[in-house]
Amino acid sequence: MEVLKGSGIPIMSVSLKFDVPEGVFSSIRKSPDEFIDELRLAAAVKWYEMEEISQEKAAEIAGISRADFIFSLNRFKVSPFQYSADEIIESLRNAD
């Protein structure tokens, strides 16, 4: 059973296998394990940015804590907030 990094929380996991060209690792200067970690994080960030998943689910996919996921969003230039300032203002205007 896999454990969520930094939390000690056990999680059920499914292994996926896919092939990538061998040169990928040298071009991005990452080991295969680092590549997998980066791929998981990039996918989680993109799905979060597209509002398909929550921060909690994204962190789980990335295999990191929610706090670490939120800090990672800055690296990808993605806001931790899923509502823009205009959306919040509009929502407040429509509140009873």
The DSSP code sequence of 62-83 is HTS-HHHHHHHHHHTT--S-SS
Q: Which residue has the higher pLDDT, 63 or 85?
A: 63
- Cα separation, 96 vs 4, in Å, equals 42
Q: 48: Cβ–Cβ under 8 A, 6 or more apart, which residues?
A: 54, 55, 58, 69, 73, 78
pLDDT tens, position by position, 6-65 = 666 676 778 888 788 888 878 888 888 899 999 999 999 999 999 999 999 999 999 999
- One-letter identity of residue 49: E
Residues in the chain: 96
The yes-or-no verdict on residue 79 having pLDDT over 80 is: yes
What per-residue confidence (pLDDT) applies to 1?
59
